[in-house]
């Protein structure tokens, strides 16, 4: 697996925090409540190990609600936003208001979560594209519910594919929800991402 230096890792966290900051502003407008989002840490891990991490430490025994989009361009990746299933309903409730009955809320969950996934994933990826000065084109969002293994294998990637895992703190005035964004990358995409990070660092330091 390709390993990032401390400088590369810090640069990537900085970029993603810009992206989720933009997503938080969009979410604030939807839920009419101040939303703060941050990426305190990122981890590169093999896909099978990422599923095990989520299963053992984070979401299990709960099922996961995931929204995925495929991106092509500067590098190729499957991006997946993940929340525990019960938290996804909580987020949808915030979007549509307290007056909607639970049965109707469940019916609206898929559409609402796809909208949230589209906002957060495109904010992250759009920031990457702008800062790297390369295009990244995304597919329409797809909705998944299942175990961590099922969500991470929905992209059809090999078990040894690398997952860039973003831990996201999603804080509202009366709620604190933790989620994850995973970028599934093959070896070629990892090389491309590392090169783009170093080009960005070089520009930032006036070396380009």
> Per residue in 144-201, pLDDT tens?
988 888 888 876 667 678 999 998 887 777 777 778 899 999 888 999 999 999 999 9
User: What pLDDT band is residue 64 in, cutting at 50, 70 and 90?
Assistant: confident
- The residue ranking higher by pLDDT, 49 or 62, is 49
Q: Can you identify the CATH homologous superfamily of domain 6-204?
A: CheC-like (3.40.1550.10)
* Per-residue pLDDT at 57 exceeds 70: no
Tell me the pLDDT band of 9, cut-offs 50, 70 and 90.
Answer: very high
The pLDDT value recorded for residue 73 is 94
For 58-124, the DSSP string reads ISTTS-EEEEEEEEEESS-EEEEEEEEHHHHHHHHHHHH-TTS-HHHHHHHHHHHHHHHHHHHHHHH
HSE at residue 49, side-chain half, CA atoms within 13 A, is: 11
User: What single-letter DSSP state applies at residue 54?
Assistant: I
In the predicted model, is pLDDT for residue 46 greater than 60?
Answer: yes
Domain boundaries along the sequence of the chain: 6-204
Measure the CA–CA gap between 82 and 80, rounded to whole angstroms.
6
CB-CB neighbours of 17 under 10 Å: 17
Q: Are 169 and 176 in contact (CB under 8 A)?
A: yes
* pTM confidence score: 0.88
Q: Is the pLDDT at 113 greater than 90, yes or no? A: no
Mean pLDDT (whole number) for 46-75: 82
Residue 61 has what pLDDT?
55
- Centre a 10 Å sphere on the Cβ of residue 136 and count the other Cβ atoms it contains: 19
In terms of Cα–Cα distance, which of 83, 3, 70 is closest to 43? 3
């Amino acid at each position: 697996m390709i390993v990032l230096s401390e400088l590369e890792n810090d640069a990537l966290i900085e970029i993603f925090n810009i992206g989720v900051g933009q997503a938080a502003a969009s979410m604030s407008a939807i839920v009419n409540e101040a939303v703060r989002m941050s990426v305190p840490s990122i981890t590169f891990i093999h896909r099978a190990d990422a599923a095990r991490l989520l299963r053992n430490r984070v979401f299990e025994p709960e099922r996961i609600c995931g929204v995925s989009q495929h991106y092509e361009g500067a590098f190729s990746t499957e991006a997946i936003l993940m929340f525990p299933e019960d938290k996804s309903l909580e987020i949808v409730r915030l979007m549509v208001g307290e007056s909607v009955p639970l049965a109707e809320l469940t019916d609206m969950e898929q559409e609402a979560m796809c909208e949230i996934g589209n906002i957060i994933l495109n904010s992250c990826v759009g920031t990457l594209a702008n800062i790297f000065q390369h295009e990244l084109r995304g597919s329409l969002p797809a909705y998944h519910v299942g175990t961590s293994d099922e969500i991470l294998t929905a992209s059809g990637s090999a078990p040894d594919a690398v997952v860039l895992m973003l831990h996201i703190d999603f804080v509202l005035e009366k709620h604190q929800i933790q989620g994850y964004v995973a970028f599934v990358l093959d070896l070629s995409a990892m090389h491309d991402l590392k090169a783009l990070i170093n080009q960005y660092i070089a520009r930032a330091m006036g070396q380009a």
